[in-house]
């Protein structure tokens, strides 16, 4: 199998990599680019642990080929905080104990951010539907919902002030 050369943008930075044609974006991120924040929980689109943004859409990176990243804009959990300042969602997850083992957390944060970017004030129901593709075995979801809502409220507040 001949490797493909791919040029892409990850978290705003240009990135280039070689990958096998059948290699997934998740494997590329984790094994070739050292971005291990996205996790593989299933490899089949069921758990959402591998969630990333691809050209502004939330996707499972396990269901995207690395080759498809050519010319694309990718955002991962590693780009969520700004320097040493956590994103309000990240802070809220810590404050509201919305993670236990934490392996689902990167995917949930990326997914939650995608929602809040579209809808700064989602209902709990909308939020639960939006996150239906993110499985968490430990926390029981309620705290996750509470944390996202708290972050959303904080972000709305910040925006109102600004």
Partner 1 sequence: MRYARPATAAEAVTLLGQQAGIVRVLGGGTDLLVQMRSGMIEPDLVVDIKHIPGINEIRAEAGGFRVGAAVSGAALGDHAGVCALWPGVAEGFQLIGSTQVQGRATMAGNLCNASPAGDAVPALVAAEAVARIEGPEGARDCPVAAIPAGPGRTTLKKGEFISSILLPARPERASDAYLRFIPRTEMDIAVASCAVSLVLDSAGTITVARVALGAVAPTVVLVEAGASALVGSKAGVPALAALAAAASAACAPIDDKRGTIEFRTEVAGVLARRAAETAYARAGGRK
Partner 2 sequence: MSLDEYSRREFKQVGTRPRRPDGVDKVTGRAMYGADASAPGMLVGRILRSPHAHARIKAIDTAAAEALAGVKAVITAADFGLPDDDFTRDVQDNCMARGKALYDGHAVAAVAAVDAATAKAALKLIRVDYETLPHVTDVDAAMAPGAPVVQEGRALENVPAGMSANVTSHCEFGHGDPAAGFARADRVIERHFTTAATHQGYIEPHACLASVSADGKADLWCCTQGHFFVRTLCSAILGMEASQLRVTASEIGGGFGGKTTVFIEPVALALSRKAGRPVKIVMSRDEVFRATGPTVSTSIEVKIGMTKDGRITAGEAHLRYSGGAFPCATVEMGGQAAFAAYDLDHVRTYGWNALTNRPKEAAYRAPGAPQAIYAVENVIDELCLDLGLDPLEVRLKNAATKGTKSSYGPTFPAIGLVATLEAAKAHPHYTAPLAEGQGRGLSCGFWFNFGGNSCVSLNVNTDGTVGVTEGNPDIGGSRASISLMAAEELGIPYERIRTIVADTASLGYNDVTDGSRVTFAVGLATIKAARAAIRLMCERAAKIWGIEADAVEWKDGAAVPAGPNAPADVARRDRRGLVRDRRPDRRPPRGQCRRRRRQLWRPSGRCRGRPRDRGDQDPALHDLSGCRQGGASRLCRGPDAGRRGAGHRLGAERGIYLWRRRAVAERGLSRLPHPGRLGPAEDRHGDPGNPQSRPSLRGARRR
Angle at 16 between CA 4 and CA 10, to 5 degrees: 125
Residue 27 as a binder of partner 2 (CB under 8 A): the answer is yes
Q: Where are the beta strands (DSSP E) in 11-151?
A: 13-19, 51-54, 57-60, 73-75
| Residue 46 interacts with ligand FAD (CB under 6 A): yes or no | yes
CA atoms within a 13 Å half-sphere pointing along the CA-CB vector of 139: 23
Residue 123 interaction partner, one of ligand FAD, partner 2, ligand FES, none, beta carbon < 5-8 Å per kind: none
Smallest gap from Cβ 42 to ligand FES, in A, equals 4
Is residue 43 a contact residue for partner 2 (CB under 8 A)?
Answer: yes
Choose, by CB under 8 A, the member of 8, 134, 139, 149 that binds partner 1: 134
Q: Is residue 7 a contact residue for partner 2 (CB under 8 A)?
A: no
Residue with tokens 């509201």: 96
Binding segment toward partner 1, per CB under 8 A, in 7-15, 128-136, 139-147, 153-161: 128-136
Beta strands in 36-143 (DSSP E): 51-54, 57-60, 73-75
Q: How many residues bind ligand FAD (CB under 6 A)?
A: 3
Residue 106 CB partners (closer than 8 Å, separation 6+): 37, 38, 39, 49, 51, 76, 77
Of 10 and 50, the one with the shorter C-beta distance to partner 1 is 50
Site size toward partner 2 (CB under 8 A) is 46
How far apart CA 98 and CA 92 sit, in angstroms, is: 8
In the bound state with ligand FES, the residue whose beta carbon lies nearer, of 6 and 38, is 38
Residues contributing to the site for ligand FAD (CB under 6 A): 44-46
């Amino acid at each position: 199998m001949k490797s493909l050369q791919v040029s892409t943008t990850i978290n705003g930075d240009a990135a280039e990599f070689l990958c096998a044609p059948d290699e997934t974006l998740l494997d590329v991120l984790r094994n070739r680019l050292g971005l291990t924040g996205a996790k593989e929980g299933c490899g089949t689109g069921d758990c959402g642990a591998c969630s990333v943004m691809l050209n502004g859409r939330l996707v499972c990176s396990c269901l995207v080929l690395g080759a498809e990243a050519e010319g694309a804009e990718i955002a991962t959990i590693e780009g969520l905080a700004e320097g040493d300042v956590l994103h309000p969602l990240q802070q809220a997850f810590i404050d509201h104990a919305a993670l236990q083992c934490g392996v689902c957390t990167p995917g949930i944060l990326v997914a939650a951010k995608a929602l809040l970017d579209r809808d700064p004030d989602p209902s709990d129901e909308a939020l639960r539907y939006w996150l239906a593709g993110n499985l968490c075995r430990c926390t029981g979801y309620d705290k996750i919902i509470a944390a996202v809502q708290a972050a959303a409220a904080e972000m709305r507040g910040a925006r109102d002030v600004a």
